Structure 1
Amino acid sequence: MTSVESGEIDNRPPTPVEEDCCGNGCNPCIFDIHKKLLEKWNKEKFDKLNDTLLDKNYLSPVKYSAFIIDKITKACEDCIFVCLNCKSKKEDDIIFLSPSQHVMIKLDTVTKPYTPISWSRKSIKLLIKLYSNGKASNYVKKLKVHDELSIRGPYGEFKYQRNSYKHILMLSIGSGIAAMYPLASSIVQDDLEDTKINMTVGFRSFSHVPLNDELRLLSDYWNFECTLYLSQESTANMTGINIVSNRLNGDIIRGILNSYSSESCLILICGTTEFNETVEKIVVEKEFSHYHVFR
């Protein structure tokens, strides 16, 4: 995160104290007014920051930028975390991404898309699924710390506006969770957010679930709920997370959708092509007005 300049702090709407409220149930209450002013201030600050950072972004959608691998760790049975740092040492070269945007990485003769699960001014962290015979996966398996990778981006047209929906239902399978996690994390950590998130993800077994620690932390927030569907396991347990021994299929998704309003719920979808098409078809049949598929 970029630090707030002192001038921006001075312009922040002052927070009322308890004595400023008369306690008579006024509509709007002084605290309601402050919340709206704070939302406006935050939006203006973000727009200004957005314009500044886009000009300085180390990433570019039209050319590759060099990154150096800082760390490679195991995420689950078939996924790894890869942490990369900007090769450039210039202070003005910083990374700017929005939650759920993806980047393209050149892996030998193959270019593959990946969604960063977290990032800072100078580094990004990727969740990469490894396939047994994939050309890109075989190249990734040989990567070592200090190796250099070429990355371009960011890409992705999805934009989320604070408090736009009462609920967000995130439906994904496997490594599709990478597109969901950054957005969920940004929402629950936003003190001005009232949106509730239900993240529903399907995996083969518990050993194939990445982001365990991250999901546990999110489960501590009042507006986050997560359910993992495991198709080949019945004994797994995870604090704060609901675990169901079943395959996340069309019938289950239809049942889940019955609990949400088609007008006030945003549905986000990410998985295999078959999963995306199946879920999108169900969402359309159920006449949900707001949904987005990460392809």
Structure 2
Amino acid sequence: MPNNEVDETDCCGNGCTNCILDNKPKPSQQELLAGKRNVILNYAKFKMLSNEVHNGDAQLRLMHFVYVATENDENDCILDIPPGYHVMLRAELPGHAVPLLRPYSPYWTDLVAKEFKILVKLLPGGPMSDYLAALEPLQVLNFRGPIGNYVHDSSSPKCIYIIAQGVAIASTLPLVAQVLDNEDDMSCIFHAICAQDLHHVYFRDRILEFSRYWNYRSCIYLAHQLCSCGAANCDELCMHLKKKLRYNETACRLRLDVKQLAVHAAFSKESVSIVIIAGYATFQRVMRDQAISAFNLSDENIYLL
């Protein structure tokens, strides 16, 4: 298949916000500047380096992959997956007439070593989940990408509100890092992290690293956090909850909704100019409508990962 050409069978059929049919793999600005070929523009082989349980939960896996070079590869190739973009995994499984396709968003990428890492939540009984759970190091899988539509412009300072649900926080980490790692980028980020409880807040160490920067703030919204004080109306001021938080962590024992977004808009020193939402499709749709209302934004300023 010619480079960059997309076939209808490349669509996984899961109703992804950034469907490959709408956002086909394309050379990024970084790749164009480097003048090198992006190895993942067509389906390419990647070898698994590790398949580790994350946060003590066997259903959560941190997977590490590296590109398998071919005889035709020279030193003119890189792995370029821009922040916020995803890659498509294509797997041919026994008993399935057609290959299974699933999108995953890397939270870490090495351009030169051509490696990437993903956080995967396995669903019991799911054919792809069962396949991934059984994978051993050195097994080879096929990935293609990058697929997405968000491009950050560092030359124009802005206030970026990022909303992440559950494991989808992984896809937002590179978005934050690209702003904070650029000393010339004056954009400010507010990171709203939505989880069931503190145990289901992932990459807490990374979030705390971000909090050292002047232009980053975050708040963890805990919809079902239980508190040892036993009070029915316990809130984030409770000392029992505070003892579970780490230094510089802020948490609220409630669900993020339009009221909470409106509170942030009222007390924020800067008007939110861009909202990025990562999570399940239903969560994305609900939060998009609420963000448009709370921040008085147009739909074109809302990006769904």
- Please report the TM-score for the alignment, with normalisation by the length of structure 1: 0.76
Listed as ranges, the matches of 1:167-246 within 5 Å are 167-233=159-225, 234=227, 235=241, 236-246=244-254
> Which string of whole-angstrom CA distances, capped at 9 and with x for unpartnered residues, describes residues 164-217 of structure 1?
343111012112212311010111111101111110011112222221221121
Q: In structure 2, what is the Cα distance between the partners aligned to 1:258 and 1:271? A: 25
Q: In structure 1, what is the Cα distance between the partners aligned to 2:249 and 2:219? A: 6
Q: In structure 2, what is the Cα distance between the partners aligned to 1:131 and 1:250? A: 30
Q: Which runs of 5+ in 1 are unaligned?
A: 1-45
Q: In structure 2, what is the Cα distance between the partners aligned to 1:254 and 1:186? A: 27
> Which string of whole-angstrom CA distances, capped at 9 and with x for unpartnered residues, describes residues 129-151 of structure 1?
22233222121111111111100
* CA distance 1:133–1:54, change in 2 (3 Å): farther
Q: How many residues align?
A: 247
Q: What's 1:131 paired with?
A: 123
Q: What's 1:67 paired with?
A: 46
Q: What's 2:109 paired with?
A: 119
> Which residue identity does 1:65 align to in structure 2?
A
Contact 1:225 1:241 in 2 (8 A): no
Q: In structure 1, what is the Cα distance between the partners aligned to 2:262 and 2:125? A: 34
Listed as ranges, the matches of 1:77-116 within 5 Å are 77=57, 78-88=59-69, 90=73, 91-107=75-91, 108=93, 109-116=99-106
Q: Which segment is superposed worse, 157-166 or 193-202? A: 157-166
> Which string of whole-angstrom CA distances, capped at 9 and with x for unpartnered residues, describes residues 93-130 of structure 1?
32012111110012433211111111112101111122
Higher helix share: 1
Listed as ranges, the matches of 1:246-257 within 5 Å are 246-257=254-265
Q: In structure 2, what is the Cα distance between the partners aligned to 1:150 and 1:188? A: 32
Q: What's 2:32 paired with?
A: 51
> Which residue identity does 1:267 align to in structure 2?
V
Q: Which segment is superposed worse, 273-282 or 112-121? A: 273-282
Q: Which runs of 5+ in 2 are unaligned?
A: 1-27, 94-98, 228-240
Q: In structure 2, what is the Cα distance between the partners aligned to 1:239 and 1:175? A: 22
Q: In structure 1, what is the Cα distance between the partners aligned to 2:38 and 2:266? A: 42
Instruction: State the SS of the aligned residue for 1:220.
Output: coil
Identity of aligned residues (%): 20
Bigger Rg, which one:
1
> Which residue identity does 2:61 align to in structure 1?
I
* CA distance 1:72–1:227, change in 2 (3 Å): same
> Which residue identity does 2:78 align to in structure 1?
I
Contact 2:159 2:270 in 1 (8 A): no
> Which residue identity does 2:256 align to in structure 1?
L
> Which residue identity does 1:159 align to in structure 2?
V
Q: Which segment is superposed worse, 135-144 or 110-119? A: 135-144
Contact 1:169 1:198 in 2 (8 A): yes
Instruction: State the SS of the aligned residue for 1:247.
Output: coil
Q: In structure 2, what is the Cα distance between the partners aligned to 1:211 and 1:53? A: 31
Instruction: State the SS of the aligned residue for 2:174.
Output: helix
How far apart are 1:242 and its partner, in Å?
A: 1.2
Question: What's the C-alpha RMSD, in Å, of the aligned pairs?
Answer: 2.3
Q: In structure 1, what is the Cα distance between the partners aligned to 2:181 and 2:190? A: 15
Contact 1:163 1:195 in 2 (8 A): no
Q: In structure 2, what is the Cα distance between the partners aligned to 1:261 and 1:136? A: 45
How far apart are 1:80 and its partner, in Å?
A: 1.7
Q: In structure 1, what is the Cα distance between the partners aligned to 2:266 and 2:301? A: 15
How far apart are 1:259 and its partner, in Å?
A: 3.6
- Please report the TM-score for the alignment, with normalisation by the length of structure 2: 0.74
Contact 2:157 2:185 in 1 (8 A): no
Q: What's 1:272 paired with?
A: 280
Q: What's 1:147 paired with?
A: 139
